[in-house]
Structure 1
C-alpha cells in the first residue's frame, strides 16, 4: 500500500474516532439535559400544587383527622379533582397528594386512595424537597416530592406531601431528534475529513512528484553521495530561477555565501553564466573572480513539467594555465628545432670542406664556430637578460614571430641579472603578453615589431611588452571575459582568456598585469591610401618573488635590495 494511501486511511480513521467520541459525549449531555429538564418540570409542578391554598387546607384537615379517610370519600373529593386536572394539563404520569402519614389523598389509580404510598416520604415530611428517579406502583419515573405546609398562621411543620412524576417515554420524546442532529453533524464532519484527506493526498503527490517517503529518503541519500562525491560544482535552480541547492564546490568556485532562496543575478555571478542558464547552453573559459570556469546548464523536466535548471561548474583555471605553459614549451621546442637545423647546416659545411680535402679551411671554420658558440637567437639586446631560461623563452617566441614577419627585440634599458627560481608562472604570463603583442603587430603595418622590457626589482620581475599594432579601443576591457556570441571579442588582442588568466596568475603572487598605454592611431597626410602609424599598446606586469637575490644586490630600477634575511 502506498504511503499516501496509508496517510489518508489513518487520517480518516482518526476523524471517525474523534467524531464518534464527540457524538457520544453530545448524546450523553443531551440525555442528561432531558433528565434535568424533566426533574425541574416535576419539581415546579409539585411546588405549584403544594402552595395552592385549597390543597394546603384540605391536606391539613385530613392530617388532623385521627382516622383513615375512606377511598369512596376521596374518589369524589376536591384534591382528586385538582390532581386529575393538573395531570391532564401537564402530561405528567401522576400527581399524588398525601397526608402526614403517607396516606394517598389523591392518586391516578382510584383503588389506591386511602392507602400509604410505596416510597419513602419521611425526608419530605422533614421539610426537604426530593427530586429523584424511583420505581413506584406506576413504574419508573422522574419524580419530585414537595412538602405541603399548613395554612397561614397554623404552623411550619409539613402536613403532607405532593409528588409529581414523568414517565421515561415522555422525558425522552426529543431524544430521536437529538440523535438525528448529532448523526447529521457527525456525517458532515466525516465527509469534510474525507475530502480534506483526499486533497491532502493530491497535494502531497503533486509536491513530491508522486514519490513515496522511502523513495525520497533514497533520493536524498543518492543526492548527498553525488553532490559530495564529485569534484564539479552543482547548482540547482527552480522554475523561477531561485537557487534551491548548491554544493560546497560550487560555492567555492562562484564565491557564493548562503545562496539558497536567491537568484543568480542577485548573487552577482558573471554575466556569461547568466546567459548560459537562460539559454540552457554550455560556456567555456568564463572568468569568475580569479578562476577560469566551464559551465553547462541543462533544463530539468519530469512528466512534461518544468522543474528548473541544473548548472554544472568545473574549474578550468589550472588546465588553462597548464595549456599556456605547454604552449611555451612548444614554442621553445620549435626554437630548438630551428637551432638544430641551423647547427646541422654548419656541420654539413664542415663535412663538405673535409671531403674536398680543404682541411685547413675546415679547421678555421670550426674554430670560428667554437668562438661564436651556439646558434644565436634573432633578438636584439637579448644579452641584457642573464637568465638562460628566460633568454631561451624570448628567443623561442622571437623565432616564431619571425616566421610571421614580426621582429622581436629586448628594450635597450632592460637589465636582469638575477636568475629565475619560478619559471612556470613567468613563462605563462610573458608568453601570453608576447603572443598577444605579435598578433597585434601582424594586424598593424610595416615595420612590424614587438619590444620586451625585463627588469629586476629585488625578488620581483617587472615586464613591459609593447607592439606596433593598431592599439586598443578605449571602451574594451581586455581583462574581462567577453561574450563571443555577441561579437564583442577582440580578435587582435585574443579571445578574452589569456590576459585575464595572466592577471590572475600574477595576482596570486601579489603582483598584477595592466595596460600601460592603449596606443593612438594617427592619420598620415591627406592621402586616403596612406598607411596609418601608431605606437601600439603597451602592457606591464609585475611578478613577485620569482627571482633569486643576493645579500647586497642592486636592482635594475636603481634601488639597493637587502637580502631576505636582512629585510625588516
Structure 2
C-alpha cells in the first residue's frame, strides 16, 4: 500500500501543460485592449452623464426663472400669499396658476412645475390633490430670495430641481422686493439617462470595433511572435543565449553565422581574429556579406543565393574541411545549414586555425621523406664500411685510404639526384635528395637544372616544403603517366636576395586543362581521386596534375607573402608542364645577420648543415 502524498507519487502525476508564451501574450493583450476600451467607454459615459445632469439643472433653473418672472404669476401668488388665510384648493386646481404651470410643464417636458406661497404651501402642482399641502423639500432658501439648484427626492421621486423666489409685483423703486412665494421646476433622471443611452450608441459601436481590431491585431502579433521565436519560450531563449555565450566564448574555433538575408547574425571573437575582421565580433554582426572582406570561396559558401530551391536543409552544405589561406593563417572551414522545424535559418561556418598543424605536418612530411631516403641508403653505407674493413683485413691499406678519400669527397650517402652538386644549401640538399629517392622508387630521375644556384639559407622551411614538395610530386606523377622514357623531372632553384625562385619541369604529356588548374573544386566526379599529391583531394579534372587541394594551397601559401605560383608552360614536344614559383622572404641572403634565438622556434625540423651531405 502506497501513500499518494509520497514524492514518488507526486512525480508520477502528470504535470499541467505549460501555456505557451505567445498564448500568454495574446491573453494579456486581449485583457489590456478590453480594459482600455471599457475604461474609455466608462469615462465617456460618466462625463456625458455629468454634462447632461448639469444641462438638466440649468434648464430647470431657466424654466423656473421664466415662470417666476411672469407678471400674472407674480400677481396671483402675491394675492394668495396672506399668512393665515385659508386656501380654496378646488378653485386653485382650476385657477390660472395651475393652468400656467401645467402649460409650462407640457412645453418643457419637465417632471413638475410647482408654485407655492410665502409659507411653502402649494398653489400649483402636477397632481391637483396635493394643492394646499406644504412642499416635501425645504423652500426656505428660495423664500429668503435665493435661487438654488440641486438633485433631491420629493413627492414625485428623484429629480434635478431648481427653486426660484417669486417677488411681489408692486415693489417700489429702490426698495428690496418682497418674496411672496417660490417656483420649483424639476426634471426626472430618466429623461437624462435616455439622452445618455442615445448619445452613447455611436461610442459603443466604435468601442466594439476597436475591441475587434485589438483582438485581430493580438492574434496576428501572436502568430508573428511564434514565428520569430520559433516557438521557444522565454526561459528557453534565456537558456539559449547563455549557452550561446558559453559556447562561443569557450571554444577555440571561430564561428560565423549568416541569416537567410545574407547578414551576419553570429561572429565570435575567434572568427573575427581569424578572418581579420577586427578584434571584436560584435562590430560585424548585422552587416551584409558584401560589406565584409571575406575570402571569395568562403563568401560563396555562405551566400544564401547558392541555396537550393528545394528543402531548406538541402544543398546548403559546403565541402567538409575546405582549406583557406587568410593572411598568414591556414584555416579549415566547415559550412553547414541551420534549420529548425523545416525553416531555413541560414548557414554557419566553423573555422579552425590549422596554421601550426599544417606547418608541423609539412615539416614532418619532409622529415619522413628524409628518413625514407636514409633507410634506402643504409645498405650502401653498410656495404662501403664492409669494403673498407675487407681492404684493411687483407692488408691493402693504400687502397683503403683511397677509397675513404673518395667517400669523404663525395659523401657517405648518394642521393639519386642528377647534378646534386649544383645545390649547396643544406635544407634544400636534404629535401630534394629525399624527393629524389621517392622519385627513383617510381622509376623517375630527379635532376637539378643548369641555372640552379642558392647562395643563401632557407628560413621559411614550411613554405618551401609546401610549394616545392607539391610541384615535385605533381611532376613525378606526370612523368610516370607520360609516354616519354626514361621519365625525368628537372628542378631549378635560384635565390635573389630574400626571394627564392624555382621551376619544375617534367617529361609528361603536359596539362590537359590549364585554365582550371588552380581551381579548388570538389563537386565534380572524376576517374581518379588522387590530386596534387595531397591526401583528401576532391574530384580530378586533369588525370595527372589534378584539380583539388595541393596546387591551390601552394598558390595561396606563396601569395600570402607577396609571391606566386603559376604555370610557365602547359607542355610541348620535348617536355611536359613547367611550373614556376616565387617565394618572398624564404631565403636569408648570404652575409646577412642570422636570426636570433627568438626566431629559431619558427623553423623546427630544419636539418643540421654539418650533418647534410650530397
Same fold (TM over 0.5): yes
Determine the structure 2 residue equivalent to 1:287.
324
2:296 corresponds to which residue?
270
- Between 1:277-286 and 1:220-229, the stretch displaced more is 277-286
SS at match of 1:416: coil
How far the C-alpha of 1:539 sits from its partner, in A, is: 0.8
The answer to whether residue 268 in structure 2 is matched with residue 247 in structure 1 is yes
Determine which structure has more spread, i.e. the larger CA radius of gyration.
1
Change (3 A) 1:480 1:139: closer
How far is 1:395 from its partner? Answer: 1.9
Say if 1:321 and 1:299 are closer, same or farther in 2 by CA, change over 3 A. same
Residue 474 to residue 181, structure 1, CA distance change in 2 (3 Å): closer
Q: CA deviation at 1:213?
A: 1.2
Matched, 1:330 2:368: yes
Q: Distance in 2 between matches of 1:67 and 1:137?
A: 24
1:398 aligns with 2:433: no
What is aligned with 2:574? 533
**Which SS does the other structure have where 2:436 is aligned?**
helix
Offset, 1:132: 1.7
CA distance in 1, matches of 2:430, 2:26: 79
Per-residue CA deviations over 1:445-488 (Å, capped at 9, x if unaligned) read: 35644333334444554444444455557852655534452767
SS for the counterpart of 1:283 is coil
Alpha-carbon distance in structure 2 between the residues aligned to 1:66 and 1:489: 133
Match of 1:367 in 2: 402
In structure 1, the residue corresponding to 2:588 is in which secondary structure? coil
Aligned equivalents of 1:484 and 1:66: distance in 2? 123
Q: Give secondary structure in 2 for the equivalent of 1:249.
A: helix
Shift of 1:306: 4.3
Distance 1:423 1:200 in 2: 63
Q: CA deviation at 1:270?
A: 3.4
**Aligned match of 1:46:** 64
Q: Answer yes or no: is the 8 Å Cα contact 2:456–2:587 preserved in 1.
A: no
Deviations 1:302-355 (CA, angstroms, capped at 9, x unpaired): 44444444433334444444333333222222221232122233345556668x
1:17-70 CA-to-partner distances (Å, cap 9, x unmatched) read 54554454344334324423432342343244334453244345556x788463
1:379·1:410 contact (CA, 8 Å) conserved in 2? yes
Maintained 8 Å contact 1:71/1:111: no
Name which of structure 1's ranges 236-245 and 226-235 shifts more when overlaid on structure 2.
236-245
* Unmatched 5+ stretches in structure 1: 522-531, 554-568
Matched, 1:544 2:579: no
User: Secondary structure of 2:321's match?
Assistant: strand
Partner Cα separation in structure 1 for residue 129 and residue 399 of structure 2: 171
Provide, for residues 186-225 of structure 1, a one-character-per-residue CA deviation record: whole Å limited to 9, x for no partner. 7777676666555544543443333221122112111222
From 172, 188, 212, give the equivalent of 2:233: 212
What do the CA deviations read for 1:218-267 (whole angstroms, capped 9, x no partner)? 12111222222222333334456654323333344455575545665775
Does residue 569 of structure 2 align to residue 518 of structure 1? yes
Structure 2: any 5+ residue segments left out of the alignment?
Answer: 1-17, 308-314, 527-539, 595-614
Q: Give the SS at the match of 1:476.
A: helix
Q: Is 1:502–2:554 an aligned residue pair?
A: yes
Match of 1:106 in 2: 124
Does the alignment pair 1:58 with 2:76? Answer: yes
Superposed, 1:427-442 pairs within 5 Å as: 427-442=465-480
Q: Normalization by structure 1: what TM-score?
A: 0.76
Structure 1, residues 422-456: CA drift from partner, whole Å, max 9, x if none? 54443333323333333344455356443333344
Is contact 1:483–1:489 with CA below 8 Å preserved after alignment?
no
1:519/1:195 Cα in 2 relative to 1: closer, same or farther (>3 Å)?
closer
Contact 2:460 2:585 in 1 (8 A): no
Q: Does 1:82 align with 2:100?
A: yes
C-alpha distance after superposition, 1:370-403 (max 9, x if no partner): 4333133343443333333322222222233234
- Of 371, 378, 385, which residue of structure 2 is paired with 1:340? 378
- Cα RMSD after superposing both structures: 4.4
Cα separation, partners in 2 of 1:437 and 1:321, compared to 1, 3 Å: farther
Structure-1 separation of matches of 2:574 and 2:423: 30
Q: How far apart in 2 are the matches of 1:308 and 1:49? A: 86
CA distance in 1, matches of 2:238, 2:228: 15
Q: Which residue of 2 aligns with 1:311?
A: 349
Question: Mean Cα displacement is larger for which, 169-178 or 395-404?
Answer: 169-178
- For 2:487 and 2:109, how far apart are their aligned partners in 1? 129
The secondary structure found in structure 1 opposite 2:320 is strand
For 1:142, what is the secondary structure of its paired residue? strand
Give the 3-state SS of the residue equivalent to 2:475 in structure 1: helix
How many residues of Structure 1 are paired with residues of Structure 2 in the alignment? Answer: 538
Displacement after TM superposition at 1:85 (Å): 3.7
